[in-house]
Protein backbone atom coordinates (compact mmCIF):
# COMPACT_ATOMS: atom_id res chain seq x y z
CA UNK A 1 0.00 0.00 0.00
CA UNK A 2 1.31 3.44 -0.83
CA UNK A 3 0.30 7.05 -0.42
CA UNK A 4 -0.36 9.50 -3.24
CA UNK A 5 3.27 10.63 -3.22
CA UNK A 6 4.41 6.99 -3.83
CA UNK A 7 5.57 6.61 -0.21
CA UNK A 8 5.19 2.94 0.74
CA UNK A 9 3.34 2.45 4.04
CA UNK A 10 2.57 -1.28 4.06
CA UNK A 11 4.18 -4.44 2.72
CA UNK A 12 2.59 -7.85 2.97
CA UNK A 13 4.75 -10.87 3.55
CA UNK A 14 6.38 -12.48 0.54
CA UNK A 15 5.32 -15.79 -1.00
CA UNK A 16 7.64 -18.05 -2.95
CA UNK A 17 6.67 -19.36 -6.36
CA UNK A 18 3.71 -18.39 -8.50
CA UNK A 19 0.78 -17.20 -6.42
CA UNK A 20 -2.38 -15.41 -7.39
CA UNK A 21 -2.71 -11.92 -5.89
CA UNK A 22 -6.18 -12.53 -4.53
CA UNK A 23 -5.30 -15.83 -2.85
CA UNK A 24 -2.36 -14.10 -1.14
CA UNK A 25 -4.69 -11.33 0.06
CA UNK A 26 -7.09 -13.88 1.55
CA UNK A 27 -4.23 -15.62 3.36
CA UNK A 28 -2.90 -12.32 4.74
CA UNK A 29 -6.36 -10.90 5.60
CA UNK A 30 -8.96 -13.67 6.09
CA UNK A 31 -12.43 -12.56 4.90
CA UNK A 32 -14.07 -13.61 8.19
CA UNK A 33 -12.59 -10.55 9.94
CA UNK A 34 -13.64 -7.00 9.06
CA UNK A 35 -10.16 -5.76 8.08
CA UNK A 36 -11.02 -2.88 5.80
CA UNK A 37 -13.62 -1.04 7.87
CA UNK A 38 -12.26 2.50 7.43
CA UNK A 39 -10.16 2.04 4.29
CA UNK A 40 -11.13 2.77 0.70
CA UNK A 41 -9.69 -0.08 -1.39
CA UNK A 42 -8.77 0.13 -5.07
CA UNK A 43 -7.75 -3.11 -6.77
CA UNK A 44 -7.22 -4.42 -10.29
CA UNK A 45 -9.04 -7.20 -12.12
CA UNK A 46 -6.79 -9.80 -10.47
CA UNK A 47 -9.02 -9.49 -7.40
CA UNK A 48 -12.29 -10.75 -8.90
CA UNK A 49 -14.59 -11.78 -6.06
CA UNK A 50 -13.26 -9.38 -3.44
CA UNK A 51 -16.58 -7.52 -3.22
CA UNK A 52 -18.52 -10.68 -2.40
CA UNK A 53 -15.92 -12.09 0.03
CA UNK A 54 -15.22 -8.90 1.99
CA UNK A 55 -18.65 -7.26 1.53
CA UNK A 56 -17.48 -3.67 1.71
CA UNK A 57 -18.94 -0.77 -0.24
CA UNK A 58 -15.57 0.99 -0.26
CA UNK A 59 -13.97 -1.42 -2.75
CA UNK A 60 -13.33 -0.15 -6.27
CA UNK A 61 -12.61 -2.74 -8.95
CA UNK A 62 -12.55 -1.98 -12.68
CA UNK A 63 -15.33 -3.12 -14.96
CA UNK A 64 -14.46 -6.21 -16.92
CA UNK A 65 -15.17 -6.35 -20.64
CA UNK A 66 -17.98 -8.85 -21.34
CA UNK A 67 -17.12 -12.09 -23.09
CA UNK A 68 -17.94 -12.60 -26.71
CA UNK A 69 -20.97 -14.87 -27.20
CA UNK A 70 -23.55 -15.84 -29.79
CA UNK A 71 -25.87 -13.12 -28.54
CA UNK A 72 -23.17 -10.49 -28.10
CA UNK A 73 -20.78 -10.68 -31.04
CA UNK A 74 -19.06 -7.35 -30.33
CA UNK A 75 -18.83 -6.91 -26.53
CA UNK A 76 -17.83 -3.46 -25.32
CA UNK A 77 -17.93 -1.50 -22.11
CA UNK A 78 -20.26 1.48 -21.93
CA UNK A 79 -18.82 4.99 -22.00
CA UNK A 80 -19.58 5.39 -18.27
CA UNK A 81 -17.79 2.13 -17.45
CA UNK A 82 -14.75 3.17 -19.51
CA UNK A 83 -14.66 6.53 -17.75
CA UNK A 84 -14.88 4.87 -14.33
CA UNK A 85 -12.04 2.51 -15.27
CA UNK A 86 -9.92 5.45 -16.37
CA UNK A 87 -10.47 7.33 -13.10
CA UNK A 88 -9.59 4.21 -11.12
CA UNK A 89 -6.44 3.54 -13.16
CA UNK A 90 -5.23 7.11 -12.60
CA UNK A 91 -5.36 6.55 -8.86
CA UNK A 92 -3.90 3.04 -8.97
CA UNK A 93 -0.95 3.95 -11.23
CA UNK A 94 0.71 5.62 -8.23
CA UNK A 95 0.93 2.24 -6.49
CA UNK A 96 2.33 0.65 -9.65
CA UNK A 97 4.98 3.38 -9.86
CA UNK A 98 5.94 2.76 -6.22
CA UNK A 99 6.36 -0.96 -6.96
CA UNK A 100 8.40 -0.11 -10.04
CA UNK A 101 10.55 2.23 -7.98
CA UNK A 102 11.37 -0.58 -5.57
CA UNK A 103 12.28 -2.83 -8.50
CA UNK A 104 15.08 -0.43 -9.40
CA UNK A 105 17.00 -2.36 -6.79
CA UNK A 106 17.89 -5.41 -8.88
CA UNK A 107 17.77 -7.84 -5.97
CA UNK A 108 13.96 -7.82 -6.33
CA UNK A 109 14.00 -8.43 -10.08
CA UNK A 110 16.31 -11.44 -10.32
CA UNK A 111 15.86 -14.96 -8.99
CA UNK A 112 16.59 -15.10 -5.28
CA UNK A 113 18.86 -17.97 -4.21
CA UNK A 114 19.54 -17.22 -0.57
CA UNK A 115 18.63 -20.04 1.83
CA UNK A 116 18.22 -17.92 4.95
CA UNK A 117 14.66 -18.19 6.27
CA UNK A 118 12.43 -15.09 5.80
CA UNK A 119 15.29 -13.17 4.20
CA UNK A 120 13.02 -12.21 1.29
CA UNK A 121 10.86 -10.19 3.67
CA UNK A 122 13.95 -8.40 4.97
CA UNK A 123 15.16 -7.62 1.45
CA UNK A 124 11.86 -6.17 0.28
CA UNK A 125 11.64 -4.14 3.48
CA UNK A 126 15.10 -2.69 2.89
CA UNK A 127 14.21 -1.88 -0.74
CA UNK A 128 10.98 -0.15 0.36
CA UNK A 129 12.95 1.81 2.95
CA UNK A 130 15.50 2.90 0.37
CA UNK A 131 12.71 3.91 -2.01
CA UNK A 132 11.05 5.97 0.74
CA UNK A 133 14.40 7.55 1.58
CA UNK A 134 14.87 8.60 -2.06
CA UNK A 135 11.38 10.14 -2.04
CA UNK A 136 12.15 12.19 1.06
CA UNK A 137 14.96 14.12 -0.69
Specify the pLDDT at position 95. Answer: 86
What torsion do the CA atoms of 130, 124, 48, 35 make, to the nearest 10 degrees?
-90
Contact 63, 77 (CB under 8 A): yes
In a domain, 8, yes or no: no
Number of domains in the chain: 1
pLDDT at residue 81 in the model: 92
Residue 58 is predicted with a pLDDT of 83
Could you tell me the residue range of the domain that residue 86 belongs to?
Answer: 21-135
Separation CA 51–CA 47 (nearest Å):
9
pLDDT block averages, 10 residues each, the chain of length 137 = 81 77 87 83 86 82 85 85 92 87 82 76 86 86
Q: Is residue 32 part of a domain?
A: yes
In a domain, 15, yes or no: no
Q: What is the pLDDT of residue 85?
A: 93
Closest CA to 36 of 54, 18, 52: 54
d(CA 112, CA 9): 24
Length of the chain: 137
Quickly list DSSP for 26-37. HHHS-TTS-TTT
Task: State the Cα–Cα distance between residues 68 and 28, nearest whole angstrom.
Answer: 35
Instruction: Give the pLDDT confidence score for residue 24 in this predicted structure.
Output: 86
**Domain annotation covers residue 114:** yes
Q: Looking at residue 42, what is its pLDDT? A: 85
| 121 inside domain | yes
Asked whether residue 80 is assigned to any structural domain, the reply reads: yes
Q: Is residue 6 part of a domain?
A: no
Q: Is residue 1 part of a domain?
A: no
Helix (H) or strand (E) holding 92: helix 79-102
Amino acid sequence: MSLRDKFIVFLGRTFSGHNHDYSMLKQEFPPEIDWFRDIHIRVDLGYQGIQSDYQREQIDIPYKKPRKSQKNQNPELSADQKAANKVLSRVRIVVEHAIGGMKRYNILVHGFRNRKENFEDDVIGVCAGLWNLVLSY
